[in-house]
Structure 1
């Protein structure tokens, strides 16, 4: 009973910390004080440490010996490497998924495209972010490759904070919506080549725009921090 209760607390801490990181409530590079987290969640240090270890395995947290745990952050070079891997793996997953997409999958993808269109119109970028993720993983789950799916999910986790910020750029939101419609059309044809290439193009477009977005943010921060600003 005690072990089950401890696992339940660790899972609750894990879920809430993961959500806080993915929503940007906890920023990249932010230190995660274990005692503070234990107090925040009404837990002992043991389930907090278990949750942090799981988050490190997910690629969301970095644990540094003798220094503590930190929300994972990435340089532009590392982010570019992550997205280069995403291009390759997600193209592969899409090609594998194409012939296995069911009518129910296609109906769900249409629902998600409609939801993204509505969220874009309302400028509800939080909802758009979630719908976008579910759209992609509805496709990738159809590949029936659980290990590949896990690796792709870890890569998404690495860049989620930065993507969330970029999702809020209206021009990119509209462009991505059109790309998702083309992806859906390829899904309906169950065409592995077309779907794989469109997914790769879509991820590449995100990479280019995201790096430009981060560079702009860094320049703005430098101007704000400049003594002459």
Structure 2
């Protein structure tokens, strides 16, 4: 697989191998003995588990950060929500996904808990795929603005 990618991109082997290793480490690519490497299949069960895990991480992060919140932290949350609202208004699907993940990442960053933040960063690639699939399933260019207004 790496050789074909190198040839099609006119790239050297090292960066392509590193990219493949990274995608394998995130779980977006799956290596199967005697079959090779394939893109992970996102079925309903995987997405449901991912959503439940994300929600659990957020609840834990909020329980840690709530007593520590400051006006500056609240201002940052509102700023991130505005960036998301602007992307939704522009109908910028990619920008909305990035902004939505940045908004939801706020609580993990603000909690100060390195384990929560590491888990959040580990599932980010899967969440990006989830959000793309979610937008396509609902035939809209971004998340629900009202849901994120309530979130903040």
Q: TM-score, with normalisation over the residues of structure 2?
A: 0.80
Call closer, same or farther: CA 1:170–1:49 in 2, change over 3 Å. closer
Q: Look up the match of 2:89.
A: 121
Pairing 1:46-125 to 2, within 5 Å after superposition: 46-125=14-93
In 2, Cα distance between the equivalents of 1:71 and 1:100?
A: 41
Q: Once the two structures are superposed, what CA deviation does each residue of 1:38-59 show, in whole Å capped at 9, x if it has no partner?
A: 2316112x44333322222222
Q: TM-score, with normalisation over the residues of structure 1?
A: 0.56
Q: Once the two structures are superposed, what CA deviation does each residue of 1:102-126 show, in whole Å capped at 9, x if it has no partner?
A: 4333222222222222222221222
In 2, Cα distance between the equivalents of 1:56 and 1:102?
A: 39
Call closer, same or farther: CA 1:116–1:172 in 2, change over 3 Å. closer
State the Cα distance separating 1:135 from its structure 2 match. Answer: 0.7
Where do 5+ consecutive residues of structure 1 fail to align?
1-32, 185-229
Call closer, same or farther: CA 1:67–1:41 in 2, change over 3 Å. farther
Q: Look up the match of 1:42.
A: 11
Contact kept, 8 Å, 1:101 with 1:139, in 2: the verdict is: no
State the Cα distance separating 1:93 from its structure 2 match. Answer: 1.5
Q: Look up the match of 2:110.
A: 142
In 2, Cα distance between the equivalents of 1:172 and 1:51?
A: 28
In 2, Cα distance between the equivalents of 1:75 and 1:83?
A: 12
Residue 98 of structure 1 aligns to a residue in which SS?
Answer: helix
Call closer, same or farther: CA 1:49–1:66 in 2, change over 3 Å. farther
- Does 2:147 correspond to 1:173? no
State the Cα distance separating 1:128 from its structure 2 match. Answer: 1.0
Contact kept, 8 Å, 2:24 with 2:30, in 1: the verdict is: yes
**RMSD of the alignment, in Å?**
2.4
In 2, Cα distance between the equivalents of 1:35 and 1:73?
A: 23
Q: How many aligned residue pairs are there?
A: 149
Call closer, same or farther: CA 1:50–1:122 in 2, change over 3 Å. closer
State the Cα distance separating 1:89 from its structure 2 match. Answer: 2.0
Call closer, same or farther: CA 1:162–1:82 in 2, change over 3 Å. closer
Contact kept, 8 Å, 2:88 with 2:141, in 1: the verdict is: no
